[in-house]
Amino acid sequence: MSKFLKYFLAVLLGSMVSALLFVLGLFMFIGILAASSGGEVKVADNSLLVLDLNGPITERSSQDPLEQIIAELTGDVAPAGLNEVLASIKKAGEDERIKGIYMESGLTMAGYATLEEIRNALIEFRATGKFVYSFAPVYTQKAYYLASVADKVYLNPAGMLDFQGLSAVYSFYKGTLEKLGIEMQVFKHGEFKSAVEPYILEKMSDEARLQTEVYLGSIWNHTLEKVAAARGIDPQVLNQSASRAPVMMNDEDLLATGLIDGFRYKDEVLSELKVLTGTDEKDDLEALSIASYSKVYLPGKKKGLEKNKIAVIYAEGAIDNGSGGIQSDDLSRTIREARRDSSIQAIVLRINSPGGSGLGSEIIWREVKLARETKPVVVSMGDLAASGGYYIACAADSIIAHPNTLTGSIGVFGMLPNTQGLLNKIGVTTDRVTTNDFSDFPALDRPFSASEKALMQAYIERFYGIFLQRCADGRNTTVEAIDEVGEGRVWSGANALELKLVDKLGGINEALATAAGMAELEDYRVVELPEVLDPFQQIMQSLSEGASARLGKQILGEHYRTLQTIGEWQNAYPVQARLPFDLELN
């Protein structure tokens, strides 16, 4: 009886705790909704715009209440939308009430091209005569690249600054698969198409190492050039400082490099900002976050009532590889609707994708091609627009990339597991009856026969030929010319410009200007597609698609991405146009 009572009380207590958490979450949700639907934010004179980017930066703000609630409960930082950040910086430059920007973004999580967008926006902001100050207890290398454009870069006296060059580390699963008794059967075209290597090798091939060295070198040289210009340091001297590992330097040596302007505690930085804004030392600074300032309309400015529109269509994530990312049917529908909308005069397709399904890429490519026949289509590349990401870009009128975008990777591969060894280990055998030679093709419980391998490789070769033709037609060149820079090789945006795979270097603003010029528009408003879901729809989508991912990240931490990569191949389309490896630059 006592044991029953103990279990009963435990269940009752657990239920009460769950109910309490649910009620708290509900109240937080209501509070967030109330705050998000509140009136226009008031901006005081001599205000600061606070740029807190200590977390992930996605292409656009999701406005997902559940995401914000989870961030509040876990203490994590909710993702910031690049579109919202850029719009707020531009608006702050025109707002006489905003005197400067204060950045606390030492642990930002974004690619170099994304940071390039924000960095360029900050340069334009400073050109208005306003100041940008940056402070952080710790600067990662990416965060420092962003901060280096500030008037003053301050570091906590006990802090650390990482600026020591680029590295790319790849994981290989061949040993794990062998222990499990799984053989990955690989088919590909492109000597540089190294996306399959983690499953069949234990280290990088010579081709994979060569292409990585080339694009890492290109991105690092660009980083040195930009930081050197911002800080007034010779690029060679800056590179020498990086080779000395500033993260381990003593205070005197770090100051001597010119990477920072001084060591400060936060209260000292705030006091300096009070002087710049004319704020009394005993008063608080007038400061607004990006989330708050994004709701502000400038006095005398139109509120987007222009008849003519340019649609910015977002394509972010892998193509048809599980939940989230780019779903080819959905993106195709969005492009088709924009093509048929007579009020939309031009389209900017914003791509941040490593590629994915070959079939999905072809489906999207078709809609981009049809849209181009109707109105100007300009591609703006983010951190990644490679393989399938380049496939869907090549049909556009013009392609614009950042110097540190990763693109190209024009190649195709197919990969299917043979699980016979695993089945044998656990005592499972299979048998079959077929009516034709390829009735059970592809079978995952046995190795491919020679004829099946030939069939699969022929399909890969045929699809690669289609890929080449799509690129040649879109870039107005020959298949042979594309093949020379193809073979699955990855290029930086700067490399791609030299190879004529892209037309111009720049970001989303350059893409909008190009699209407006092609459509002969002086006045227009930007509409972002697909339309953002309402809060209830956001929650339902998050619960159905993102809950397991969030839970996995919380439990597994840094190992989650590795297991996610392996898991994606279980349901992946067998022919892939995807970036080699799961790239993560420091």
C-beta contacts of 438-445 below 8 A and 24+ residues apart:
442/416, 442/574, 444/416, 444/417, 444/418, 444/419, 445/418, 445/419, 445/420
Report d(CA 315, CA 59) in Å as an integer. Answer: 9
Q: Which of 229, 232, 234, 258 is nearest to 163 (CA)?
A: 258
Residue in the structure block whose two tokens are 């710790």: 138
User: Residue type for 467, please?
Assistant: F
Task: Give SS3 for 296.
Answer: coil
* CB 455 within 8 Å of CB 438: yes
Strand partners, 109: 56
Catalytic annotation, pick one of 193, 274, 309, 369: 193
User: Residue type for 517, please?
Assistant: G
Task: Give SS3 for 301.
Answer: coil
Burial of residue 98 (CB within 10 Å: 0-12, 13-18, 19+) is buried
Report d(CA 383, CA 402) in Å as an integer. Answer: 8
Residue in the structure block whose two tokens are 């990662």: 140
Regarding beta strands 355-357 and 98-103, do their DSSP bridges make them parallel or antiparallel, or are they unpaired?
unpaired
Q: Which of 462, 476, 332, 355 is nearest to 406 (CA)?
A: 355
* CB 101 within 8 Å of CB 132: yes
* CB 453 within 8 Å of CB 415: no
Burial of residue 1 (CB within 10 Å: 0-12, 13-18, 19+) is exposed
Burial of residue 180 (CB within 10 Å: 0-12, 13-18, 19+) is middle
Q: What angle do CA 161, 166, 172 make, to 5 degrees?
A: 120
* CB 298 within 8 Å of CB 92: no
Regarding beta strands 262-263 and 152-161, do their DSSP bridges make them parallel or antiparallel, or are they unpaired?
parallel
Q: Is 387 a catalytic residue?
A: yes
With a CB cutoff of 8 Å and minimum separation 6, the contacts of 476 are none
Q: Is 409 a catalytic residue?
A: no
Backbone phi and psi for residue 180, each to the nearest 5 degrees, phi listed first: -80, -15
Residues composing the chain = 586
Structure tokens at 78: 């909710």
147 sits in the region (left: phi over 0; alpha: psi -120 to 50; else beta) called alpha
E-strand stretches of 279-410: 287-289, 309-316, 344-353, 355-357, 377-386, 398-401, 406-408
Report d(CA 487, CA 484) in Å as an integer. Answer: 7
Q: Which of 481, 402, 90 is nearest to 223 (CA)?
A: 402
Report d(CA 73, CA 24) in Å as an integer. Answer: 10
Catalytic annotation, pick one of 148, 218, 328, 387: 387
Residue in the structure block whose two tokens are 């239920």: 15
Which residues are known catalytic residues? Answer: 193, 387
